[in-house]
Amino acid sequence: MPTVTRAPDEKTWHGVLARASDPAALANLQGQGEQCDWCAHPIRLIGNSVSVDTATGVVLRSYSTNDEPDGVLLKACGTRRATRCPSCAALYASDARMLVRSGLSGGKGVPESVSTHPMVFATFTAPSFGAVHSARGGRACHASKGPRTCRHGTSTSCLLRHRDNDPVLGHPICPDCYDYEQSVLWNATCPELWRRTTIYVRRELARLCDMNVKELDQSVRLSFAKVAEFQRRGVVHLHAILRVDPRDDDSDVPHFIDAQTLTSAIRTAASKVSAPLPVGFSGTSLGSARWGRQLDVRVINAREVDGDASSSSESRRSSRAVANYVAKYATKSTDDLGALDRRLTSLDDLDARNVSAHLARLVTTAWRLGALSHLTRLRTWAHSLGFGGHWLTKSRRYSVTFKFLRAERQAWQVQRQHGTAPSEQSINVGVWKWIGTGWRTLGDAWLASQGQREKMQSRTEAREARCIERRSSADPWDERPRHFLDVEAVES
């Protein structure tokens, strides 16, 4: 699979010239690029398909890759990771934003009444597994309170004032003191801890409402959407939207359950809940996984749909800000550069990935734990430092699904291409053959990366233009130059 280099080397340059010197070949590449949205690693297919009306048996449309540029169909890779493919990740982020927004303020088939339901945005963090280097807003990183050196002879203090982009942030002060095993097993237990948390929140809500859980469940439902994000120290934390809905769609949430009640229930639940950690290297119990002390809960102001995200107060979050937040984290990787985007086949595989010593030790610990018969899954999750959950999940009733949003987009594309929406009475039958992944030559890959860059640039410009438009529609005078006002004042 060709990889894209920033400046084309000689071999890439030959490929670029071969395309660029032939207008028809260049037009083919343009067609292919638009077909797959300038995906970085498209799947190349050949084959044909027909769309048949199931009621009448009439062939509505037929398609063959023979008619496509270069005779192949390019299908976008569809990854969520921005490090793998910026174009597909941007589409994923847009769907994630839509999925979250519709659950906050309605739309896409979700009633607008959800915006009146009690809802909060909460960030759950992991506990400490050992002292790490941290940026403390101009203060010293780690002033030691106890002995000056640990039992490994390493200094226990760091008086540096780290900047936000310091690569040492999140790395242990003493790697030998840091509990790598607990860190990996905590990541592995995080999905179960979250499942139990949702049960505990319902339990605490019931307690606050003087009900039992059964009575609460008959009256309301707890819906959520959450995204996992890796902290620099290599543990996940969760950003979650939690919403209380009436059990019956036609009724309201009881007046005694509001966002403050939900906040109290979450805080108590988070302090009480735990999930047993799996037995590790020692063969004895390692206790339970619990949330860390840092828990941030903010009420979501869903009515503020068109407000500027930056205008939200400290204790409240607008739905736009929350949706942008979730979408941003949904496309992130385990590490900043995406070196751990793929599963490991062996520990030798890790050497080539050039990750920091801290991440390498976490991966190695997960891999070694995976040798235990009850933890074999940790080999599959070693590249995600033990975390095997989904990155973005939601409860069934929170809002629409990614599948729904993709189907809607596909229907719109069919409508645009053929002038008619796909009939519900039709089926597609096709024969496809996979012939490769990625652009055919290094030259094509390089040209595709340029197409992708231009596309992302125009998307950014369009977004900025929308922001200016929104601001000016909120207060038309704010955006006007001062001399404009002066002229009008003179004329009046």
Interface contacts to Zn ion, rule CB under 5 A: 39, 76-77, 85, 88, 133, 141, 150, 152, 154, 158, 160, 174, 176-177
| Min CB(447)–Zn ion separation in Å | 16
**Of 277, 272, 244, 242, which Cα lies nearest the Cα of 258?**
244
Nearer to Zn ion, 231 or 313 (CB): 231
Q: How far apart are alpha carbons 492 and 487 in whole angstroms?
A: 9
Nearer to Zn ion, 15 or 33 (CB): 33
Nearer to Zn ion, 153 or 476 (CB): 153
Q: Tell me the pairing of strands 275-276 and 288-289.
A: antiparallel
Count of alpha carbons within 13 Å of 404, Cβ hemisphere only?
12
Nearer to Zn ion, 177 or 414 (CB): 177
Question: DSSP assignment, residue 199?
Answer: H
CB 247 within 8 A of CB 202: no
| Min CB(145)–Zn ion separation in Å | 15
> Positive or negative CA dihedral for 187, 192, 198, 202?
negative
Nearer to Zn ion, 132 or 190 (CB): 132
| Min CB(160)–Zn ion separation in Å | 5
What's the 3-state SS for 394-462?
Answer: ECCCCCCCHHHHHHHHHHHHHHHHHCCCCCCCEEEEEEEEEEEECCCCHHHHHHHHHHHHHHHHHHHHH
Count of alpha carbons within 13 Å of 393, Cβ hemisphere only?
11
| Min CB(211)–Zn ion separation in Å | 49
Nearer to Zn ion, 88 or 259 (CB): 88
CB atoms within 10 A of CB 116: 13
Task: Name the token pair of 236.
Answer: 């996940």
Nearer to Zn ion, 30 or 144 (CB): 144
| Min CB(381)–Zn ion separation in Å | 23
Q: How far apart are alpha carbons 197 and 295 in whole angstroms?
A: 13
| Min CB(153)–Zn ion separation in Å | 8
Angle 191-380-36 from CA coordinates, rounded to 5°: 90
42, exposed or middle or buried, with CB in 10 Å at 0-12, 13-18, 19+? buried
| Min CB(136)–Zn ion separation in Å | 9
Nearer to Zn ion, 87 or 197 (CB): 87
CB atoms within 10 A of CB 126: 23
Nearer to Zn ion, 89 or 300 (CB): 89
| Min CB(364)–Zn ion separation in Å | 18
Q: How far apart are alpha carbons 346 and 353 in whole angstroms?
A: 12
| Min CB(41)–Zn ion separation in Å | 6
| Min CB(437)–Zn ion separation in Å | 10
Q: How far apart are alpha carbons 130 and 151 in whole angstroms?
A: 14
Nearer to Zn ion, 150 or 279 (CB): 150
Residues 6+ apart with CB under 8 A from 309: 318, 320, 321, 324
| Min CB(451)–Zn ion separation in Å | 12
Q: How far apart are alpha carbons 309 and 235 in whole angstroms?
A: 28
Backbone phi and psi for residue 48, each to the nearest 5 degrees, phi listed first: -150, 160
Nearer to Zn ion, 158 or 235 (CB): 158
